[in-house]
Amino acid sequence: MRLAEIIELRPVPAAGLLATLTRRCPLSCAHCSTSSGTRGEDTPAAALRRFVGGFTAGNRPEVLMLTGGEPLLRPALVGELAMLAASAGTRTSVLSGMFFAADGRVPDRIMRALGHVEHFSASIDVFHEREVPRAAAFRAVHLIMESGVDVSFHVVGDSVDDPYLADITASIRAEFRDRAAVLVNHVRPVGRAAGWAAARTVQADGAGAKPAPCAMAAWPVVAFDGTITACCNQGVVDARPVPEHLRLGHIATDDWTRIRSRCQDSPVLRTIRTAGVASCADCRGLARRPAALAAAERTGSRPVAGAMDALGARLQRDAGAEVLMRRYGSKPYAPLVLLGGPVDEEAPA
């Protein structure tokens, strides 16, 4: 499963489920959006197994994305969830900070877990490289690729002119001969970077932007305590209570059928996905603006709203992964998400 396939599904309501497995991580990267560390909560394993085990061939997400913290601190759970998902036809992707790869190897317990997933994405940036050397991370990713798993890299830098981004993307392309896709983002002032990155962010959190359709309100997100939100923004995932219009349920009490229905049929979420909001902060703040929330409810309840939501998702999906990443990632590097698979002599420049 190539990275572009996953990204193309991102605007489609309930086409994917993003599940955090733990807030723990042995690395201490200065830009960590979740402020993960050696201590932190684990998402309840039994509830996760029950929830994913409720997928059926006729009612399931296309993609299950496992993240953290560091999801591979729980390799047995990664393997179990991937197998449960596969039994219903759902494919699994894992995003890892590569904590295990400092010597260039992949421990057996982790390789066994990855044997059940269809895609593996490695985070690499100037912060990760201080703890896991680039050459070691590359060697480990080669081993994972050779095991038959499709691979990609998730890279972040300060800005489009950050020389690190030019260096690392060129290095990845040369090392993997364009068989590994690269998703490039910029550091955001959230989590551990909330203080120091704010000064470098020219337009933080969409400030000053015009309302635009939001693809990030399409996939349910399982937070560390099992709460399911309608948005992957860290401010939503960490907020308690979650703004009611962005709370879909909980893995201990709800099943996928109910969560999928709430995600697809919520009038407010339909409005956010089609008409949009100016910023993530404005979206979170709807709960404090009763008139605006009521207007979104009315707009999303109109008979045509469901059809407009579906049409918008289809148009965004048809536009392709590169177009979506021009909106949500680093524009100059957006074509790199199309890499992957067999060596392509005409790969994006």
* pLDDT at residue 169 in the model: 98
Determine the pLDDT at residue 205: 43
pLDDT score for 227 = 97
HEC string of 104-120 equals CCCCHHHHHHHCCCCEE
How many CB atoms within 10 Å of residue 151?
A: 22
Give the span between the Cα atoms of 37 and 104, in whole angstroms. Answer: 22
Instruction: Report how far Cα 66 is from the mean position of its chain's Cα atoms.
Output: 8
In this prediction the pTM is: 0.92
Q: What pLDDT is attached to residue 279?
A: 85
Unique residue bearing structure tokens 């036809």: 89
Q: Which H, E and C letters describe the chain, residue by residue?
A: CCHHHHHHHCCCCCCEEEEECECECCCCCCCCCCCCECCCCECCHHHHHHHHHCCECCECCCEEEEECCCHHHCHHHHHHHHHHHHHHCCEEEEEECCHHHCCCCCCHHHHHHHCCCCEEEEEECHHHHCCCCHHHHHHHHHHHHHCCCEEEEEEEECCCCCHHHHHHHHHHHHHHCCCCEEEEEECCCCHHHCCCCHHHCCCHHHCCCCCECCHHHCCCEECCCCEEECCCCHHHHHCCCCCHHHEEEECCCCCHHHHHHHHHHCHHHHHHHHCCECCHHHHHHHHHCHHHHHHHHHHHHCCCHHHHHHHHHHHHHHHCHHHHHHHHCCHHHHHHHHCCCCCCCCCCC
Cβ 186 vs Cβ 156: under 8 Å? yes
> How many whole angstroms separate alpha carbon 128 and alpha carbon 62?
30
pLDDT tens-place string over residues 8-56:
999 999 999 999 999 999 988 888 888 888 888 999 999 999 999 999 9
CA dihedral over 329, 333, 334, 336, signed as positive or negative: negative
Q: Which of 238, 310, 228, 227 is nearest to 280 (CA)?
A: 238
Cα–Cα distance, 326 to 317 (Å, whole number): 14
Q: Which of 158, 212, 211 is nearest to 184 (CA)?
A: 158
Instruction: For tokens 């992949």, name the residue.
Output: 106
> Could you read off the pLDDT tens digit of each residue along the chain, which spans 349 residues?
999 999 999 999 999 999 999 999 998 888 888 888 888 899 999 999 999 999 999 999 999 999 999 999 999 999 999 999 999 999 999 999 999 999 999 999 999 999 999 999 999 999 999 999 999 999 999 999 999 999 999 999 999 999 999 999 999 999 999 999 999 999 887 777 777 676 554 444 444 567 788 999 999 999 999 999 999 988 899 889 999 999 999 999 999 999 999 999 999 999 999 998 888 888 999 989 999 999 999 999 999 999 999 999 999 999 999 999 999 999 999 999 999 976 444 445 5
- The whole-number pLDDT of residue 38 equals 85
Query: Rg of the chain's alpha carbons, rounded to an integer?
Result: 19
Is residue 78 classed exposed, middle or buried when 0-12, 13-18 and 19+ CB atoms within 10 A define those classes?
Answer: buried
Domains recognised in the chain with CATH numbers: 3-264+319-338 (3.20.20)
For residue 197, what are the contacts with CB-CB under 8 A and spacing of at least 6? 31, 187, 188, 189, 190
